Structure 1
């Protein structure tokens, strides 16, 4: 390496280090077309959180617009068991929990549910809806009124 190249590199390195030291992740800008997958211990998909826009609120809180949460079987077939839709949600990735004060729509093969003020816990695969709940079953109830 020539002396001139060494001198140029010696001047460039401190400037690059100073620039890197001032680099920060901006939390005031949204992430567009956000995606956050989670996997089981065996490496299969557990859930996939998607949103048109997401904002990092804190270490364990992501605010999402137009949530589409796909809940998978957790097996090799990677079948989507349930789909959860909401215009606004908060995801807590460490606890694998999603919540929202606004509307929710839960869709799977057996039923469809909707309401407001909801919570989804991935570990239990449990959805709780507190207000304005409506459930439509896609199964036949034989002799239910007997």
Structure 2
């Protein structure tokens, strides 16, 4: 009795060619995608989620540049901070023409203008920092705050 390959030498040859072609086509798909740090990312979006899977914040910008693995420079920043629970309510929006995002510490900062929008207040200023873990915005210059809430006994 002869081996099955000896009966179909042409089929074995085509099978070998097919295997080589498959390897050539699939090899590029298995390579790691690299992002160039010298080219901007247009219409940038970076969402973060709580351990439970709820939206925590969304960083968006018209253009972003990866300065390092932990630092992103963003033009036309829109930072949306969510409640982080099942309500998925927008808590705060932060707008700025230019900002730096430190992804490991969840700190966003800028030297230019900032606008902070909440249901109860709106604030503007310059030379600012937003610390997401502390839920705190600090502005050092040209600060203006407009409250939309009743301030009972504020002047007493």
Per the TM superposition, whether the score is higher than 0.5 is: yes
Aligned residues: 146
Using the TM superposition, name which of 48-57 and 25-34 deviates more: 25-34
Q: Counterpart in 2 of 1:49?
A: 59
Matched, 1:60 2:81: no
Return the structure number with greater strand share.
1
- Correspondent of 1:96 among 102, 106, 112: 106
Q: Counterpart in 2 of 1:81?
A: 91
> Compared with structure 1, are the counterparts of its residues 97 and 6 closer, same or farther at alpha carbon in structure 2 (3 Å cutoff)?
same
Using the TM superposition, name which of 1-10 and 31-40 deviates more: 1-10
> Compared with structure 1, are the counterparts of its residues 16 and 83 closer, same or farther at alpha carbon in structure 2 (3 Å cutoff)?
same
Matched, 1:120 2:133: no
Using the TM superposition, name which of 3-12 and 100-109 deviates more: 3-12
Instruction: Specify the SS of the correspondent of 2:16.
Output: helix
Deviation >3 Å, runs of 4+: 7-24, 142-146
- Give ranges in structure 2 of 5+ residues lacking alignment: 1-10
Normalised TM-score (structure 2) = 0.81
Q: Counterpart in 1 of 2:5?
A: none
